[in-house]
Structure formats: C-alpha cells, structure tokens
C-alpha cells in the first residue's frame, strides 16, 4: 500500500516535470490506479462529422474507425495497425493519445484503406464508422469520459476522499451568486497540469529532450532520448542506454543531468547490439548515427544530429517540443500556486479565454482562440464571466508567437523561461519541431461522482481534450507515480 502523503509538496518524479505541489492538504487514499486495464476506462467524446462508408473515396480518402483497445499504447497500436495494413504509419492519424494500461475507445483515420482491409489485432475491436476528407487531428476530439477504479486503498478511504473533494470544490471558487461552491453537487477543480504520462511515467525524459531541441542542441536531445537510463527501467534497457552514454562520453548521475566522463568511442554499432529491439525509436536514431559514422564530439547543432533526431515519426518529433512546452507550463502553474494567486479568477495582467460554445454539455471547456487581456479595469467583469463558467484564466504554451501577460502573471512566465534558458524565438525550429505556441486554461474543472463498491472507489467524470485524469486523481491518492 502506498505511504500516506500529507501536505502540499509533490513527489520527486512529479517535481521533475514541473508539478511541485498539491492543492489539497488532506491525506490520500493510496491504492493502485491500474491493477487491471479494466480499472481505467476512457471513451472519447468525438467531434468528427464523418460521411457514410460508401462515400466517394476521391473526396473522402480517409477511413474513420472506432477502436476499443485493451492494454495498447496509442503509438504502439498505430505501428501494429500499419504493419497489418502493410502501409506507412504516416498514413494513420488520431485525435488523442491514450494510456497503455487501460481500456480505451477512440477514433483513428486510415488514409487509402477500405473496410475490408482492416486486420484482426489482439486486444482490439475495430469498427469502421465513416469517411472524411482529411487526416484526424487534435481538434476532432472534444474530450474524454473516464471511469476509474482505485484498488487497494486505505481502510478509511471514503472519509478521506470526501475531505479531498471538499478542498477541491473550494479550489473551484465561487458560484455566479458569489457563494462558496462546497456543496456535494458542486464541481471540483485542480490546476490543469500536464500529467506524468505526458513525459514518460517511469522515465520522464520527453520534456528534457524537447528543451534540448529548443535550446538548439540536437546532440543532447539524441543522447537524452537514446541514453540516460532511469532506475525504474528493466535491466536490459538500462544496459543499452548505458552503452549509448559511453558512446557519447557521458554518464548519467541518476537525476537526469548527464556529465561528461571521457571522450566517447562513437561505436554506434555496439550501441545497436546492446539496445533491446523493443526500443525501436532509439534504434532508429542509432542506425542513422552509425550510417553516417557521426563523431560524438561533433558540434552540438551539427546537421548529423538533426538527421538522427528526425529518424522518429513526425508526431513524436512534435511530442518532444510539446513536452518542453508542457514542462514550462507546469512550472508556471506551480509558481502561481506557490505565490497564492487564484486559479478560478483572473488578476490584473492575466490573459483569459472564453468558453467553447460548441463543447458537449458535460464539459467545462475553454476556447484558447478567443482571448481577452485582463486590465485593471476589466478584472471584475472577467471575474463574473469566470464564476459563471463563461471564461477561464490561461497561461502560455510557449512558442514563437507567445506574448507575455502583464503584471505578476507575466513576471512568473518570464522567471520560468529565464531559469530554463529559453525564449519564444527559440521555438523557430526545422520541420515538425517548429511551434508557434498557444494558451491553455490553468484550472481543470469537472463534475465528479465517486462510488464505493467493495470498499474501493470508482471515479466518474469528463474532461476536455488535452487534460489528464491522473492530475485529478493524484489529489485523492497522493501516491508515488512510480509505485505499481
């Protein structure tokens, strides 16, 4: 059973990705989130208007399928699907990435595929639903409905869960009449952090890779991704990564900060021999290093390092930079929380966005394209909009077009970027790595039902796309993410 954690400080692996604190101070219920895949069920709230299956394939070349997957990572399933269809993985698209240890129902787009071509895949039920004229994208997902059972909780889990829920309802703020929203039917809220799985649940490396890319150091990005072993990884994986570090002339000191040890031997063929075949993306990078016989002492921004980095699919290239943006966003939220600034309403200098008018009724969903700067004169007006669910306070996912907030919110963003050694212009990068940035609501709000069956709770709720169920559940469990 997980050790009880009280207070506001997060676990070390969470702090590594910018999640420094808890909102609630009540003790957690402990337990496990995924004793079986069936304990973690996710169903997409779809926003795709597909044409019929018999629509003209010239106008609608992408087949849309609804897949219910048991114990499948989205990227791994896409690779298995592309193998079964004998086509490039680049012809497969989806609107949202899901966790492996779960039962998930989601849409995939298959370019140039007929329903009769669909393969049979273990742990997958694939249903063709229609055709569209383009690949699926993030905007095709409105949100997700979750039903999550936590097993092996403490004996007094029910009163503990009630206490946490009261704190999260208080964090949600005030209602439109100015009253305190702490009754049992009120929504709960937490900071809208990017969850641990965004960065790697047991090896939170993607944000570090992304920050290296943004700093113009593809050499370090390749080393971070292919090398830099984590203690939680299997022994064969650690051995493979240690061999990569030796080739680079680096060693990991266990906290994610490599240090130069000796001149690297640059024996990429030996690295390939040591790297387990299950780590296909790492091996793809090493193949390119071996192909060009890259000198490990080559300048950090040399084209050969970019060539190796671009061995991975374009969606993973984007994920690296997105993870860097997510790390910075988490740090901004943690600093706002540390300073005691509100999340449910703006202060002067904030940038707010209005609600998504097309979102399903069960979602508290922001529209980051409809922004409003909050001047001193407009604070009270925007407070009313936020209290009525019509607006949300935002923070930046930094990119080339990011403009800073004013006042203390802007000062927080500047301080975080200065500490990371990056600035918006650094996101002007080659190919899929480039990002103009956007903004994201800082508070995640939802209607929550907690049902206790056989002493274990089941949490039911819906979240807008891009938000993480584990960010809500961590407040209830307060468990170490590295524990089973």
| Digit-coded pLDDT (tens) for 446-474 | 999 999 988 899 999 999 998 999 999 99
C-alpha–C-alpha distance, residues 165 and 162, integer Å? 5
State pLDDT tens for residues 150-182: 999 999 999 999 999 999 999 998 543 444 444
Q: Where are the domains of the chain?
A: 1-33+150-216+321-484, 45-143, 218-300
Q: Is 412 helix (H, G, I), strand (E, B) or coil?
A: helix
- How many C-beta atoms surround the C-beta of residue 307 within 10 A? 17
C-alpha–C-alpha distance, residues 260 and 290, integer Å? 21
Nearest to 48 by CA among 111, 121, 89, 109: 109
Q: What is the pLDDT of residue 262?
A: 64
Side-chain half-sphere of 12: how many Cα atoms within 13 Å? 7
**What's the alpha-carbon Rg for the chain, to the nearest Å?**
23
Q: 152-168: string of b/e by CB count within 10 Å (b at 16+)?
A: bbbeebeebbebbbbbb
Q: What is the pLDDT of residue 97?
A: 84
Q: Which residues lie below 8 Å from residue 467, measured CB to CB, with a gap of 6+?
A: 143, 192, 444
Q: What is the pLDDT of residue 178?
A: 43
CA 64 from centroid of its chain's CA atoms: 24
pTM of the predicted model, to two decimals? 0.87
Is-contact 93 28, C-beta < 8 A? no
C-alpha–C-alpha distance, residues 53 and 55, integer Å? 6
What percentage of the chain carries pLDDT values higher than 90?
Answer: 82
Which CATH architecture group holds 45-143? 2-Layer Sandwich (3.30)
Question: What average pLDDT values come out for the chain (484 residues) when binned by 10 residues?
Answer: 55 93 94 93 93 96 97 93 95 90 96 96 97 92 95 95 96 59 76 92 91 96 96 95 95 50 87 97 98 96 95 91 97 96 97 93 91 96 94 97 95 97 95 93 96 91 94 95 76
Q: What is the pLDDT of residue 183?
A: 59
State pLDDT tens for residues 282-309: 999 999 999 999 999 999 999 999 999 9
Among this protein's residues, is 99 annotated catalytic?
A: yes
Q: What is the pLDDT of residue 361?
A: 86
Nearest to 26 by CA among 3, 5, 1, 2: 5
Q: What is the pLDDT of residue 138?
A: 80
C-alpha–C-alpha distance, residues 150 and 164, integer Å? 15
At 325, list the tokens: 């943006």
- How many C-beta atoms surround the C-beta of residue 20 within 10 A? 18
Candidates 39, 73, 99, 245; catalytic one? 99
Side-chain half-sphere of 35: how many Cα atoms within 13 Å? 11
Instruction: Please give the sequence-ordered ranges of beta strands (E in DSSP) within 292-437, or none if there are none.
Output: 351-355, 366-373, 391-397
- Fold (CATH) for 1-33+150-216+321-484: Pseudouridine synthase (3.30.2350)
C-alpha–C-alpha distance, residues 292 and 299, integer Å? 15
């Amino acid at each position: 059973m997980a050790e009880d954690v009280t207070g506001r400080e997060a676990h070390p692996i969470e702090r590594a990705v910018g999640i420094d604190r808890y909102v609630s101070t009540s003790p957690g219920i402990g337990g496990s989130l995924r004793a079986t895949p069936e304990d973690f069920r996710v169903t997409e709230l779809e926003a795709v208007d597909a044409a019929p299956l018999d629509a003209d394939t010239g106008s609608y070349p992408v087949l849309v399928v609804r897949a219910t997957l048991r114990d499948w990572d989205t990227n791994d399933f896409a690779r298995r699907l592309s193998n079964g269809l004998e086509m490039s993985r680049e012809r497969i698209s989806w609107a949202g990435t899901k966790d492996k240890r779960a039962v998930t129902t989601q849409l995939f787009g298959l370019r140039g595929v007929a329903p009769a071509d669909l393969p049979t895949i273990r742990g997958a039920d694939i249903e063709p639903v229609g055709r569209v004229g383009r690949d699926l994208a993030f905007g095709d997902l409105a949100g997700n409905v979750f039903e999550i059972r936590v097993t092996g909780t403490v004996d007094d889990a029910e009163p503990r869960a009630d206490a946490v829920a009261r704190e999260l309802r208080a964090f949600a703020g005030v209602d439109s009449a100015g009253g305190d929203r702490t009754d049992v039917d009120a929504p709960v809220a937490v900071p809208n952090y990017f969850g641990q799985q965004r960065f790697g649940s047991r090896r939170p490396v993607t944000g570090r890779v992304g920050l290296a890319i943004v700093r113009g150091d593809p050499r370090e990005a390749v080393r971070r991704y292919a090398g830099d072993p984590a203690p939680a990884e299997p022994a064969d994986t650690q051995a493979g990564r240690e061999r990569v570090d030796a080739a680079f002339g680096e060693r990991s000191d266990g906290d994610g900060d490599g240090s130069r040890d000796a001149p690297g031997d640059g024996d990429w063929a030996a690295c390939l021999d040591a790297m387990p075949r299950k780590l296909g993306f790492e091996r793809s990078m090493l193949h390119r290093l071996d192909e060009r016989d890259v000198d490990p002492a080559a300048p950090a921004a040399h084209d050969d390092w970019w060539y190796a980095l671009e061995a991975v699919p374009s969606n993973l290239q984007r994920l690296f930079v997105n993870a860097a943006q997510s790390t910075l966003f988490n740090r901004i939220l943690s600093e706002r929380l540390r300073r005691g600034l509100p999340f449910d309403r703006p202060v002067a200098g904030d940038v707010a966005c209005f609600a998504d008018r097309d979102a399903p009724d069960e979602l508290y969903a922001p529209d980051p394209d409809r922004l409003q700067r909050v001047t001193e004169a407009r604070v009270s007006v925007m407070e009313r909009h936020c209290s009525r669910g019509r607006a949300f306070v935002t923070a930046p996912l930094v990119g080339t077009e990011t403009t800073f907030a004013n006042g203390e919110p802007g000062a927080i963003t500047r301080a975080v970027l200065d500490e990371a050694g990056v600035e918006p212009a650094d996101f002007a990068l080659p190919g899929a790595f480039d990002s103009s940035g956007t903004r994201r609501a800082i508070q995640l709000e939802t209607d929550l039902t907690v049902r206790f069956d056989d002493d274990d709770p089941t949490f039911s709720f819906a979240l807008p796309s891009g938000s993480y169920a584990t960010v809500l559940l961590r407040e209830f469990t307060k468990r170490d993410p590295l524990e089973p």
